[in-house]
Amino acid sequence: MRDGRLTLITAIGALLICGWFWHCRQSEQRLTLPDQANATMLLVIQPDEFRIEKGQIQFRGHLSDGRVIQGQYFSKEKENLQRFKFDKTTSVLVTGELGRPLPATNAAEFDYRRYLAKNGVYNTIKVTKLVLKAPVRTLNPFQWWQNKCHELRAQWVTATMQLPATLRLYVQGLFLGWRADDFYETLHAVTDLGLIHLFSISGFHVSWLVNVLSKGLIRLRLTQWIIAWIMLMILPSYFILAGAAPSLFRAVAAAMFGFLVHLLGWRVSSLSLWSFSLIAGLVVYPAILTQFGGQLSYGLAFALLFVGQFKPIKQAILLNLISLPIILYHVYQWHVLTLFVNLLILPIFSVCVFPIVLLAGLLGHSLTGLASAVDGLLNWLTELLNQLAALPGMVVFGQPPIVAVMGLIILTIVLMAQRIKWWSGICLVMMYVTCYGLIHYPTSGEVTFFDIGQGDSFLVTSPRHREITMIDTGGRVNFGGQAVTGRSKALKVSVNYLKSQGIDHIDQLLLSHQDSDHVGDITDVLQNLHVKRLYVPLGMMDNPRFVKRIEADLKNTQVISVKAGDHVSGTNLTVVHPMQAGEGTNEDSMVLHGAYGGRKWLFTGDLDRAGERAILTQFPSLTTDVLKLGHHGSKTSSDPGVLLKLQPQLAIISAGRDNRYGHPNQETMTTLSKQQIPFLSTQTSGMIRYRYTKSGKNQWQTFLKEK
């Protein structure tokens, strides 16, 4: 800042980068194609961007004008999908529904539309017909080189499929930047213990490979000048071979700048090399600093410039401190063993795991004994990590505000720059404690209706989190005997949201009845959050199918069966249905009535009209301000006479977009219109939240702002 000329150059450079970022954001509309129901287009697809897994094809293709399209193709004939497999850059004719990916519709939900847009993808296509045309031939040498790199990567990924399971995951993750569908299921400790950076190819991998190759070339008695030229040719190819991730770009760019300045004989500091890689990264990937991987990659590389003079343990502590605010903002939790495990594992990976995995990956097909032995060692290491991750110590911190994240990062840098002064350390600790307190003890409570598609899942909390109640978990309906795959809506939406609010437990989990769209995700909720009490309608625990589904996860959970007139302990909720024991069907739905934030609420499950009339017979003075319409707005519920007696000021509809049942039914909508009852629907509003405080400052919020 003391150098006026340098400050001016920096300011101009920053303005240019901001202008470039703005230009790229504005070009999103120009690059987005209009929705089309029966679109046909010819795409050029690289073989390593065409995946056949679990009865579906996923791909990323390029139009002739440079637009990138993300595609998906489902087929009932799973065994015939392999006929579409190809190993050359190929033109493919696809027909299907062209549109935009759905944005996040809940707070704290992963925004797939924004993620794709940051990577230059603005359209998706649900393919109904797919025809392979012919391998692509090009006279452009740059494009030919790119195609060959993609083809080689696809061949290597295919070759690794023949390796033993765990060895395959390590080879693909450490050297090819490939994530198999079972990666996180097998290596869940990688994320729990903060080791995902080892499998996200970046500076650690590039430095290791450059070091190994350089030593090998030195042994061949090549000069440093020749080695630098060889590396400048190898690194761009490795960038594509390793998956071309934005976070990898930083490491490759920094290494290439280092070799280039060596050839030119310039004396450039490490900070300047980092700066060159940042500028290059922002030019090629303008949104790189808005992504989790980009933030960690550039943040940790920047921190390394400060901590080089410290001992390894102090280095590890400071590097963990610089990454912690970023991790908490994106993941919401942190394991206390993360620092210890990183100190233990990093040397093991550098000295042992990398070399033996690379060796077994190259020779495993011919030396099956070697592959089996290495696979056994990796299984042992993976099991050790999984056991460490299972130990107590996972702290659900919650999502700190972005301003607090920036403050924590700046304070950590000050701590490093000041050579660990006591006052900066105290300020850092106080800021973490303050953030934790504000997240875990909020002044407001809420009643939240999650948008989980076709199903129900609601959250009720009180100020200071004295009460945390969930009503139903949602779940996916299994149509035609097809297996339900992928992460559940509960993990993507409700569990994720709770953790973002600093919540690691549920005081009361209330299940209205046993249908999959209401309780299908209960296993994920029980496994990821401590549930103190589980309430079910009377008679539902006599259903052996339901009991079998949950009994393995009921470790420290008290199960309570309730009927009309019972009070739900620790809440303002009273059960008003069922009147007698049932089997957990729609007609047996648990219906709850309670007061929160100056309003009376009625949650009706999938109760039919006869059940609604029975409630008014037993509770003739019952009224409500907010009514969750029964059975997702079906005409089998919402009896006009019952609505007239309840006199709700607002109706809430929880239903999936374009669902096959036609919910909400037009008859129900006509009833609401005749009785002048306004409504909100998760179909158009996304997550619906009512926040209230003791002082009466209450507010309705909808996540989507349509209409």
CATH code for residues 444-476+487-702: 3.60.15.10
pLDDT digits (tens, 9 = 90+) for 234-245: 999 999 999 888
- The mean-pLDDT minimum among 361-375, 450-464, 592-606 falls in 361-375
With H, G, I as helix, E, B as strand and everything else as coil, classify residue 510: strand
- Asked whether the predicted pLDDT for residue 639 surpasses 60, the reply is yes
Band (pLDDT 50/70/90 cuts) for residue 645 is: very high
- Asked whether the predicted pLDDT for residue 300 surpasses 70, the reply is yes
pLDDT at 452: 94
- Asked whether the predicted pLDDT for residue 87 surpasses 70, the reply is yes
User: What is the average pLDDT across 294-307?
Assistant: 87
pLDDT at 305: 85
User: What is the average pLDDT across 234-260?
Assistant: 90
Q: What is the DSSP string of 189-222?
A: HHHHTT-HHHHS-SHHHHHHHHHHHHHHHHHTT-
Are the C-beta atoms of 218 and 209 separated by less than 8 Å?
no
pLDDT digits (tens, 9 = 90+) for 675-707: 999 999 999 999 999 999 988 889 999 999 754
pLDDT at 478: 61
- Asked whether the predicted pLDDT for residue 604 surpasses 60, the reply is yes
Are the C-beta atoms of 194 and 335 separated by less than 8 Å?
yes
pLDDT digits (tens, 9 = 90+) for 647-667: 999 999 999 998 888 999 999
Q: Which residue would you say has higher pLDDT here, 669 or 304? A: 669
With H, G, I as helix, E, B as strand and everything else as coil, classify residue 701: strand
Could you tell me the pTM of the whole model? 0.90
Rounded CA-CA distance 359/373 in Å is 12
| Residues 105, 106, 107, 108, Cα dihedral to 10° | -100
Compute the 3-state secondary structure of the chain and give helix, strand, coil in percent, each to the nearest 5.
Answer: 50, 20, 30
With H, G, I as helix, E, B as strand and everything else as coil, classify residue 162: coil
pLDDT at 568: 96
pLDDT at 68: 93
Q: How many CB atoms lie within 10 A of CB 359?
A: 14
Query: How wide is the angle at C-alpha 489 spanned by C-alphas 483 and 493, nearest 5°?
Result: 165
pLDDT at 696: 86
User: What is the average pLDDT across 96-102?
Assistant: 91
pLDDT digits (tens, 9 = 90+) for 566-594: 999 999 999 999 999 998 899 999 999 99
Band (pLDDT 50/70/90 cuts) for residue 405 is: very high
Backbone torsions φ then ψ of 377, nearest 5 degrees: -65, -40
Query: How wide is the angle at C-alpha 45 spanned by C-alphas 140 and 129, nearest 5°?
Result: 140
pLDDT at 443: 94
pLDDT at 608: 95
Band (pLDDT 50/70/90 cuts) for residue 485 is: low
Q: How many CB atoms lie within 10 A of CB 623?
A: 13
- Asked whether the predicted pLDDT for residue 266 surpasses 50, the reply is yes
User: Which among 606, 583, 467, 471 has a CA at the least distance from the CA of 525?
Assistant: 471
Beta bridge partners of residue 683, listed in sequence order: none
Q: How many CB atoms lie within 10 A of CB 261?
A: 16
Band (pLDDT 50/70/90 cuts) for residue 319 is: confident
Band (pLDDT 50/70/90 cuts) for residue 481 is: very low
pLDDT at 480: 47
- Asked whether the predicted pLDDT for residue 501 surpasses 70, the reply is yes
pLDDT at 484: 54
pLDDT at 706: 55
Extents of the domains making up the chain = 1-31, 32-137, 444-476+487-702
CA 170 → CA 38, 186, 366, distances in Å?
41, 11, 18
pLDDT digits (tens, 9 = 90+) for 151-190: 999 999 999 999 998 999 989 988 888 888 777 777 877 7
**Helices 312-331 + 402-417 axis angle, to 10:** 170
pLDDT at 388: 86
Rounded CA-CA distance 390/384 in Å is 10
The mean predicted confidence, pLDDT, of the chain is 90
CATH class of 32-137: mainly beta
pLDDT at 425: 84
pLDDT at 310: 79
User: Which among 467, 383, 412, 461 has a CA at the least distance from the CA of 189?
Assistant: 383
Q: How many CB atoms lie within 10 A of CB 74?
A: 13
pLDDT digits (tens, 9 = 90+) for 504-536: 999 999 999 999 999 999 999 999 999 999 999
With H, G, I as helix, E, B as strand and everything else as coil, classify residue 627: strand
Rounded CA-CA distance 398/436 in Å is 8
The alpha carbons of the chain give a radius of gyration, in whole angstroms, of 28
Q: What is the amino acid identity at position 121?
A: V
pLDDT digits (tens, 9 = 90+) for 385-401: 888 888 888 899 999 99
User: What is the average pLDDT across 478-490?
Assistant: 64
